[in-house]
């Protein structure tokens, strides 16, 4: 009689996706891949941003209504894109942290919130500078402006919350919950100019139609926008790499202290 045991393949369970995600989020693998990619990401971001700014400031035509004040668009609009896009990335990292306990999700979320707050501050500041000659005021309680200000406070709240607990894990969990709740503000920002009567102009670039601006103004804006994306990514990668290495150093120091005691 054959007594060889029959090995039945284990059916894929609900934990399989989580293990796969953990494999891709391994800190050592992240440091190796990001170390190779980071210089290229930073260089591409700097080159694209410089081309977009240069073309927007010196080659693009002035607007027939706003004149040269429209050139603030090449600073303001990409920062507005990254303010909302960065918060979406923060929410994704928070979801990965709460559901799959990603090793890097908490660290990445903490760095995204800091960088996103900076880009949102740039968006608000450049919008105020642009709004002064157009509206006659530095600030108005417009639906778009107010919802972006709320976004800025959500970023600051996340930055403060993850550092408000002695136990870092509790801070990361609280920050992740806040980030996911704040996602409801993103569609408000996007559709505020359609839902309410606002001073802010409607979007000139959409996913379902051609841009409403001239091509000589559109392509520098698009190039600058891609440059901002790469710069945002480069800053977040740099800060996350530093956080990973700092955690490793603390772990080594703690292990050494335990051996000495």
pLDDT, tens digit (0-9, with 9 covering 90-100), for 200-222: 666 666 555 556 677 888 899 99
pLDDT digits (tens, 9 = 90+) for 41-83: 999 999 999 999 999 989 888 887 788 888 999 999 999 999 9
Give residue limits of the domains in the chain.
Answer: 30-200+219-260
DSSP assignments along the chain, one per residue:
---PPPPPPPPP-THHHHHHHHHHT-HHHHHHHHHHHHHHHHHHHHHHHHHHHHIIIIISPPBTTTBGGGGGHHHHHHHHHHHHHHHHHHHHHHHHHHHH--TTHHHHHHHHHHHHHHHHHHHHHHHHHHHHHHHSSS----HHHHHHHHHHHHHHHHHHHTTSSSSHHHHHHHHHHHHHHHTTHHHHHHHHHHHS--SSPPPS--SSS--SS-HHHHHHHHHHHHHHHHHHHHHHHHHHHHHHHHHHHHHHHHHHHHHH-
| Residue 206, pLDDT score | 57
Q: Does the structural domain 30-200+219-260 have CATH classification 2.30.30? A: no
20 versus 35: which is more confidently predicted?
35
pLDDT digits (tens, 9 = 90+) for 150-207: 999 999 999 999 999 988 889 999 999 999 999 999 999 988 877 776 766 666 665 5
pTM of the model: 0.84
């Amino acid at each position: 009689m054959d007594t060889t045991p029959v090995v039945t393949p284990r059916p894929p369970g609900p934990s399989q996706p989580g293990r796969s995600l953990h494999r891709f989020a391994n800190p050592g693998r992240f440091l190796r891949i990001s170390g190779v990619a980071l210089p290229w990401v930073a260089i591409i971001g700097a080159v694209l941003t410089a081309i977009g700014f240069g073309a927007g400031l010196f080659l693009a035509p002035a607007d027939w209504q706003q004149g040269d004040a429209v050139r603030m668009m090449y600073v303001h609009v990409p920062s507005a894109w990254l303010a909302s896009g960065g918060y979406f990335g923060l929410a994704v990292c928070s979801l990965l942290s709460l559901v799959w306990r990603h090793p890097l999700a908490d660290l990445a979320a903490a760095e995204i919130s800091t960088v996103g707050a900076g880009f949102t501050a740039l968006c608000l500041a450049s919008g105020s500078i642009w709004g002064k000659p157009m509206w006659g005021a530095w600030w108005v309680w417009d639906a778009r402006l107010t919802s972006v200000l709320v976004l800025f406070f959500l970023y600051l709240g996340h930055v403060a919350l993850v550092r408000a607990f002695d136990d870092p894990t509790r801070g990361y969990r609280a920050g992740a919950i806040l980030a996911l709740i704040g996602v409801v503000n993103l569609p408000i920002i996007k559709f505020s100019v359609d839902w309410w009567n606002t001073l802010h102009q409607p979007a000139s670039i959409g996913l379902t139609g051609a841009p409403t601006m001239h091509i000589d103004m559109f392509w520098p804006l698009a190039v600058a926008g891609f440059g901002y994306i790469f710069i945002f990514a480069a800053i977040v990668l740099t800060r996350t790499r530093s956080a990973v290495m700092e955690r490793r150093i603390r772990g080594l120091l703690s292990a050494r202290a335990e051996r000495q005691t």
